[in-house]
């Protein structure tokens, strides 16, 4: 019976993966034709495959395909793909730009504004909407969750958009991804605090231990793991187009081990992958070899599973009244105002031009699936209702849809040529 059950699970998983990959490729091509990154199309494909469209049009077929067996295999594969993407994002970035004082100042100011302004607006929205949208939920915990949700920037999808626009080694890209990474790290800490408040078990001691553990991990990574990895790389001859199997195996073990550590620290596994990538970002032969041999597997197989499977959990039909749609519009407006407006003003204060500031602000406004991670956790904790969950998902999609058109409009004014045909 167990063998038969495992075979059934395998068959359904293979069928789901096949459908997801096909839907992702079709939607990705459509998104590119509309001037959007592939990831946007893949998110929309997930929404279409979920209860919002497929589940509404053919509920029996939807339940048979996606609810007949355990969803754990897809969940695990999506998380593995996200960790590998974050490692690649770390590899792609040249942080030497932050050696310039003006760039460091811009990163710090954008980070602070990108957290504080949307968090304050989200907190206000939470207090105002709690009696209507979250009856029975503690107003403080609900409001704090909304504040955290509005403060998040989607590092993985932002990194993928930057790759497509050729910004990974441009100073604007480096300032933005550094600010986004710090913002998200702070966001996860805030999320842990919100969970503690919700459970009435907040402890300054526990929080200090968590932050101390994260700092210790980062210091050990830079001063211990980094030199060790550099020595080990000398043992494996590799070139721009050659990544030995033993070296690939070693990299995967280190990446997954780092992801495990950050997961245990409560800062999510993806940042462990990103950290290892940053440690090796200046090993150009390794970066080139990784992209030559591994990138396509991540982009074609792992990432579509992550982007589309997440959409399976969203039901737009839960917004069943005009009042709910008004609240949804207000939430989206405040989210964009807080992130774009706050980051733009911060970048201008740091001495960047108006064109540079607009590009940084629109990139920081990208929320996508990091937002979805937050809202899923908030929903699982009982801090938001199903309509608010859907509103936050729509806000994540809307803010992400703005990114590519904004970059196409404003990057040329900042002196950056947009590459053609990237990511096809």
Note the pLDDT tens digit of each residue in 335-374: 999 999 999 999 999 888 999 999 999 999 998 767 877 8
Asked if 145 and 46 sit in the same domain, the reply is no
Asked if 37 and 170 sit in the same domain, the reply is no
Residue 313 lies in a domain: yes
pLDDT digits (tens, 9 = 90+) for 98-112: 666 767 888 899 999
Can you say whether residue 321 is alpha, beta or left, with left for phi > 0 and alpha for psi between -120 and 50 degrees?
Answer: beta
Q: How many CB atoms lie within 10 A of CB 192?
A: 20
CB 292 within 8 A of CB 243: yes
| Number of domains forming the structure of the chain | 2
The CATH number of the domain holding residue 144 is: 1.20.1530.20
pLDDT above 90 coverage of the chain, percent: 32
pLDDT of 318 > 90? The answer is no
Asked if 139 and 34 sit in the same domain, the reply is no
pLDDT digits (tens, 9 = 90+) for 207-217: 677 778 878 99
* Domain termination site, one of 46, 74, 102: 74
Asked if 290 and 409 sit in the same domain, the reply is yes
Asked if 155 and 69 sit in the same domain, the reply is no
Asked if 61 and 176 sit in the same domain, the reply is no
C-alpha closest to that of 42 among 23, 61, 60: 23
Asked if 41 and 109 sit in the same domain, the reply is no
Residue 421: what pLDDT?
47
For 140, 194, 368, 412, the CA distances from 144, given in Å and listed in that order, are: 6, 6, 20, 38
* Domain termination site, one of 49, 74, 99: 74
For 314-333, letters b (16+ CB in 10 Å) and e give bbeebbeeeebeebbeebbe
Residue 424 lies in a domain: no
pLDDT digits (tens, 9 = 90+) for 71-85: 888 888 888 988 898
CA distance 398 to 407: 15
Residue 423 lies in a domain: no
Residue 136: what pLDDT?
85
Asked if 28 and 150 sit in the same domain, the reply is no
Residue 360: what pLDDT?
93
CB 210 within 8 A of CB 217: no
pLDDT digits (tens, 9 = 90+) for 364-399: 999 876 787 788 778 877 889 888 988 998 898 899
CB 370 within 8 A of CB 155: yes
DSSP-based three-state secondary structure for 420: coil
Please tell me the pTM assigned to this model.
0.75
Residue 255 lies in a domain: yes
Strands (E), 134-265: none
Asked if 99 and 118 sit in the same domain, the reply is yes
Residue 362: what pLDDT?
94
Read off the pLDDT of each residue in 306-324 and give the average, rounded to a whole number: 79
Asked if 221 and 334 sit in the same domain, the reply is yes
* Domain termination site, one of 40, 74, 108: 74
418 DSSP assignment: P
Asked if 299 and 349 sit in the same domain, the reply is yes
* Domain extent at residue 17: 2-74
């Amino acid at each position: 019976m167990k063998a038969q059950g495992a075979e059934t699970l395998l068959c359904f998983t293979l069928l789901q993966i096949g459908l997801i990959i096909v839907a992702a490729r079709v939607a990705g091509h459509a998104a590119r034709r509309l001037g959007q990154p592939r990831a946007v199309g893949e998110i929309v494909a997930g929404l279409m495959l979920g209860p919002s469209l497929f589940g509404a049009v053919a509920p029996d077929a939807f339940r048979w395909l996606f609810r007949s067996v355990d969803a754990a295999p897809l969940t695990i594969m999506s998380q593995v793909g996200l960790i590998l993407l974050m490692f690649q994002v770390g590899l792609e970035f040249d942080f030497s730009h932050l050696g310039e004082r003006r760039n460091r100042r811009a990163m710090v100011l954008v980070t602070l504004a990108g957290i504080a302004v949307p968090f304050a607006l989200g907190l206000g929205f939470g207090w105002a909407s709690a009696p209507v949208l979250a009856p029975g939920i503690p107003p403080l915990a609900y409001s704090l969750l909304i504040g955290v949700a509005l403060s998040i920037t989607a590092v993985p999808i932002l990194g993928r958009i930057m790759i497509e626009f050729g910004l990974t080694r441009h100073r604007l890209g480096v300032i933005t991804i550094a600010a986004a990474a710090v913002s998200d790290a702070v966001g996860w800490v805030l999320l842990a605090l919100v969970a503690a408040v919700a459970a009435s078990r907040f402890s300054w001691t526990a929080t200090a231990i968590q932050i101390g553990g994260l700092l210790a991990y980062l210091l050990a990574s830079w001063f211990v793991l980094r030199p060790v990895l550099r020595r080990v790389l000398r043992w494996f001859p590799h070139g721009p187009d050659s990544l030995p199997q033993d070296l690939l195996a070693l990299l995967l073990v280190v990446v997954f081990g780092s992801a495990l550590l950050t997961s245990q620290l409560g800062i999510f596994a993806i940042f462990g992958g990103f950290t290892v990538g940053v440690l090796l970002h200046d090993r150009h032969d390794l970066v080139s070899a990784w992209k030559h041999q591994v990138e396509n597997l991540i982009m074609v197989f792992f990432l579509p599973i992550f982007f589309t499977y997440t959409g399976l959990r969203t039901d737009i039909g839960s917004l069943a009244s005009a009042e709910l749609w008004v609240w949804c519009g207000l939430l989206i407006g405040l989210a964009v105002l807080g992130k774009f407006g706050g980051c733009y003003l911060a970048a201008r204060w740091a001495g960047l031009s108006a064109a540079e500031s607009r590009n940084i602000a629109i990139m920081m406004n990208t929320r996508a699936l990091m937002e979805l991670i937050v809202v899923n956790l908030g929903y699982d904790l009982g801090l938001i209702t199903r309509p608010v969950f859907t509103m936050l998902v729509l806000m994540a999609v809307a803010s992400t849809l703005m990114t590519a058109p904004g970059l196409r409009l404003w990057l040329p004014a900042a002196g950056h040529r947009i590459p053609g045909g990237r990511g096809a």
